[in-house]
Structure formats: C-alpha cells, structure tokens
Amino acid sequence: MQMVSLGKSGPQVSAFGLGCMGMSGMYGPADREESIATIHAALDAGITLLDTGDFYGMGHNEMLIREALEGRRRDQLQLSVKFGALRDAAGGWSGYDGRPKAVRNFLAYSLQRLGVDYIDIYRPSRLDPDVPIEETIGAIADMVKAGYVRHIGLSEVGAETIRRAAAVHPISDLQIEYSLISRGIEDEILPACRELGIGVTAYGVLSRGLISGHWQKGAAGSGDFRAMSPRFQEGNLEQNLALVEALRRIAADKGATVAQIAIAWVAAQGCDIVPLVGARRRERLTEALGSQAVQLNADDLAAIERAVPKGAAAGARYPEAQLVHMDSERQQ
C-alpha cells in the first residue's frame, strides 16, 4: 500500500482509507463480526486510515473500532473522527454544536470510547451556523497543544470557511463527498484546498453503492439512508443506473469492475486526494482494493467523462433537510 502525505501539514497515511460509518446501521443492519473482520482485513492490506464519527450509531462505531484494534499498534494507524452532530433518542438529527466547550466534551467521550490517548485527525462534521469557525478550530487547536489531538481537519465546508479555518491553525485535510456523480468541489473548493496545501479525503466515492455496479432497484431496506436519498428515488434512480451501465462497458474493456473504475477515477484526480472506501464486508473491501491495479490513461479518462459527464446525475446528493446544514453546498 502506497503512503501519501495528507496535505502539507497532515500525517502520512495510506493512499486509501476505510470509512466505517456503514458498520453502525446507517445503511441498514450490519454484522458485527464481519465488520470487525473487514477492519482487520483493511489493516492487514496496509490501510492505516480509519474514518469514523462520534454520532455513528451514537458511539457504537467508535466502540466497534476500539474492539477491532485490540492488539494492534496504535502508532501504525491514524484515527479520523468527526464530531458535532446532535441526535435524539429516536435516532433523529437535531443540528450541530461547534461551541468550544462542546468540542472539549465531544473529544473526551471519543477518547474514552476509542480507548486511546489521542486522535490523529479531529474535525467538525458540519459548520455550526451559530458559532464562528474560528472559535471551533481554536478550541481544537487548544486540544492539539494539550496532546489530545494531532491534526485538525474539516468536513463539508466551502472555500471561504476553509480559508478562515486555515488562518487559525494548519488544516490537514477536508473530508467531502467526491465521485464521478458528485463533482461540485471542482469549481471552488478543490482549488482552495490546493492553494492552501490542504489534502482531501473523499467519501462517497461509490455514491453509497449507487455507482458500484451492484445496486438494484428496491434494495434499500428499513433503516437505510438510501431509502430517502434523492438519487435513489424512482425517476432519478433509473437515470443514474443508466450511467452505471455506460461505465460498465468501459470497465469491461479494462478488465475491471464498475466499482474499481469509479474508485480509480477519484484516485486519478490527484495525489492529494485519498479515497475513503466505505466497505463493511471483506468481499467489497477486496474489490475496492483491486482498484489500485487499474491504471487510467488519458483516453480512459476521456471515455469515462463521455459516459458520465459532470452534472449528469439525477437528484441531489442529500435530502433538502440535510443540504441546508452543508456549508459546502451554499458556497459552490
């Protein structure tokens, strides 16, 4: 596994990261033993970057990772943790809290659940509209000085917010959705990151399975985020799956799967971009890691662009109720 620098100020991490959200119910029920086996397989394959959020399963994900990491060397991996999302007992969402005292509270609980002394990359999951980003980043910077955090990241914020945050403390990376059918960052956000030497950890590289080549109509069950995601709704889904079929023909010519082509495309957009693979089963992880063997030349990239042109996806990437909380959408 190739190692890369996560931005000019961030740590050395594997060229691929493992996104662990799906192991805690966001996409329907997950198998605990298989989730742990998948984390082990990722680490054994050379993946060092594990991404989670303290609100994934209301702490379940952090405790799952703690169990999976028993016996593993802490200095050979990086934990990336998002915080700030507020949830209720019914599993609903209640906004975001970026106040300094909340930052310290969230961090204390994450350290306890993960069973670690420090977190490698700590980041607000969304911008709190009631708290200046300078205050939130300043609070994390205090935790860096205290030794509880090594690096500061951002998530789903726009170019202006990125610049304001970077003026307070060096930012290692921006975590944001980026895929063949989610390319909004290319206009302003990615150029701002590159101007400031900030890396990108790209989640949703397979658009929550939509462009994996495996998704079928009606596959979203109870408790699955995709059941309410606009791109998976009738009318939109058919148009989006047609894009997948166009991509499948290119994949066949390359001797690869659709998922491998989609991941390889993200990786080919720059050495400063680290794809986060959201696999929750070993077979999907193995397929995703196979994308490392897929080399895309200029002709391949042009063919992919023709098959899935920018802006071709039908439907927004999140429901409207969640988009209003996304600074990255407002500033594009």
Q: What are phi and psi of 170, to 5 degrees?
A: -55, 135
Choice among 56, 96, 148, 318 that is catalytic: 56
Query: What are the residues whose beta carbons fall under 8 Å from the beta carbon of 209, sequence distance 6 or more?
Result: 27, 215, 226
Bridge partners for 17 per DSSP? 49, 276
Q: Which residues of 241-258 are buried (b: 16+ CB within 10 A; e: fewer)?
A: bebbeebbebbeeeebbb
Going by C-alpha positions, the residue among 285, 328, 331 that lies closest to residue 125 is 328
118 is catalytic: no
- The residue length of the chain stands at 332
Q: What are phi and psi of 205, to 5 degrees?
A: -65, -20
Q: What are phi and psi of 237, to 5 degrees?
A: -60, -45
Question: What are the structure tokens assigned to 61, written together?
Answer: 């994900």
Helix (H, G, I), strand (E, B) or coil at 106: helix
Distance (Å, rounded) from C-alpha 105 to C-alpha 90?
22
Within 13 A of 152's CA, how many CA atoms are on the CB side? Answer: 23
Helix (H, G, I), strand (E, B) or coil at 56: coil
Bridge partners for 114 per DSSP? none
The torsion region of residue 209 among left (phi > 0), alpha (psi -120 to 50) and beta comes to: left
Active site residues: 56
